[in-house]
Chain A
């Protein structure tokens, strides 16, 4: 009978001149690894293209330069027009968004606690989710008149269905193990929803909130373009419409840019921060 032999090798023993294990990255490499820096570079490039084309066209009525737009925007921000209009839009948005989320929460809780509730939610979302909120505006104008009531109504419609749909599908996909764990500790009813289902489905809920926000913001600006003025103070959509009528095209561009900037801030700052501190930290990003 032979016996296996162990041959020790000295390769793994640390010697004086060791191979390069780590190397510091250069400053450029470090910067380029940052997604924010790369995206900022793209934005600067696009602004340059814009400026070049605007100068080449030389027709501020059709396509003002980047420089003109920024100057107008700066002026309008300084004299308070844009902040006031943006605030008017955001105020309506918060009302609609908040009411939509509350309704979505009620619908979803009904849906997970009874079977008929599930059927109700599924039927309602199937019917209303494909319906663009703005299509309800003519009807809303008849029901609620010219004013914030109509805007809030269409906003609720644009927020409610995507949020309810995503939350519900998130709840449904919570693993059976986690459900059993929750029930093992005697959790039932609302504490069970709050302690187990909501955090476990948080990725889907957040997706729903993001889609709801995007829908709401687009819907609001579009609806304001249709009528916009209520109690003397219109929002950003109305600002764009008004300035087009005055042929103040740089101001129209400034308005559009503001819509984009607010959208970017909410999506990249607010939602990204929530994501980083929740689903990314938990490793449950869907």
Chain B
């Protein structure tokens, strides 16, 4: 079976007012169905830019990106983005309407079925209590869970998560991570997850792509991450190994 998402030799550049910045250089990786694929690296390694490119928000300078064999040219609902920012929910719609919104806008489902599906996914993230609330009344963790429900309700080919838990407090972040894994156990969705936290990468991912900064290049790929466990200390050892990998990179760069 060919990969669901195939990124080959992608170089991404963006312009600021005075210079052209190379965010990533010839990055290749592929994501299979039901992968929890993590892009990990320090700030400046272009991981978020890479995710935005997969989302279709920018075109690669060179290289190709394909999803299901189709080349990625523009944003589309087959790749649902989940952002770090809390303002990704539409403030003028209730929680339920927010989850229904993409289903209706893409004419995926008629209103009645959209509502049923939205309610089902909100139940999965245990937010049935607040379906009729407006986003500004929710806590940060709840907002992110609504965004996840909204992304999942579309049942996209792949979920693109851009540090969705980075702005949460430590306790809420852990709950959200556990919940995401629980959801994955239930539906086995495919997710491309960006983070700068090594611990989060190990907890969430089954594969990790390690990127080096300035410009972003692939440093290593770590597979079978889901085999390690925090109980026997293997997760801790992996964390140290990854840390050392990143650390030696910065040491040689200077």
Contacts and interface: CB of A to CB of B under 8 A. Distances in A.
Given A177-B83, A181-B81, A184-B80, A284 B55 contact: no
Given A177-B85, A184-B55, A195-B105, A284 B76 contact: no
Q: Is the interface of A mostly helix, strand, loop or mixed?
A: helix
A199 B92 contact: yes
A184 B134 contact: no
Given A185-B77, A186-B75, A178 B87 contact: yes
A118 to B, nearest CB: 17
A187 B105 CA distance: 8
A283 B75 contact: no
B91 A284 contact: yes
Contacts of B80: 184
Given A185-B105, A186-B106, 8 more contacts: A178-B90, A180-B52, A181-B88, A183-B57, A184-B55, A283-B136, A283-B137, A284-B92
Interface residues of A, number: 21
B193 interface: no
Interface residues of B, number: 24
A281 B132 CA distance: 12
B85 A185 contact: no
Interface of B: 52, 55, 57, 75-77, 79-81, 83, 85, 87-88, 90-92, 101-102, 105-106, 134-137
A184 B77 contact: yes
A191 B88 CA distance: 18
A55 interface: no
Interface in A238-286: 278, 281-284
A184 B75 contact: yes
3 closest A-B pairs by CB: A283-B136, A199-B92, A282-B91
A181 B90 contact: yes
Interface string A24-61: 00000000000000000000000000000000000000
Given A180-B75, A186-B75, A186-B106, A283 B85 contact: no
A123 interface: no
* Residue with the highest number of chain A CB atoms closer than 10 Å, among B75, B79, B136, B137: B75
